Amino acid sequence: MDHFALKSDSLFQSLINGKLHRNFMGYTASKTRLMIGLGMSAIGDSWYAFAQNEKAVPEYEARANRGELPVFRGHLLTDEDRVIRQHILNIMCHFETTWDKQDSQFPELVQCLLKLEEMEADGLVELSEQKLVVPEVARPFVRNICMAFDLRLIRNSPDSRIFSMTI
């Protein structure tokens, strides 16, 4: 985990017990795939989609007064998005992830593995045929490691060096 937590803290205990979870708000000891966003600018997450409420009071109130949900934008996650999301969640919370035949339906994951091979050469990850492990010494770089799974980043700049973008 790239956050400080006392050994007595529930986050640390969740990490040790393999129950740590993360959502777009940060780390949590409570595992949930559903977050309901209430209020202006709030973001909801159903695991399959994100939805953001109106940001400005007049628009938010107008929708609410018409009996509408005050959502002004959202994103439906693809199967690929959800697979990538799970890998990132596994790495961020447990410092490892595994892949199987399900992952092979997404050919662009091969690009992710190429980025990971670069990181393996630097000692940031340990790779086997179906598993990635982040050694303890590399845990401060967990966000950099997760960026190797960001297909949108790879598609936009396939030859960029991941490490330099987060320092």
Under 8 Å between Cβ of 72 and 55:
yes
Structure confidence at residue 17 (pLDDT): 86
Which residues, 6+ apart, have CB-to-CB distance to 8 below 8 Å? Answer: none
pLDDT < 50 regions, the chain: 164
Instruction: Give domain limits for the chain.
Output: 43-76, 79-165
Structure confidence at residue 166 (pLDDT): 56
Cα–Cα distance measured from residue 136 to residue 51, given in angstroms and rounded to the nearest whole number: 35
CATH code of the region 79-165: 1.10.10.920
Structure confidence at residue 160 (pLDDT): 55
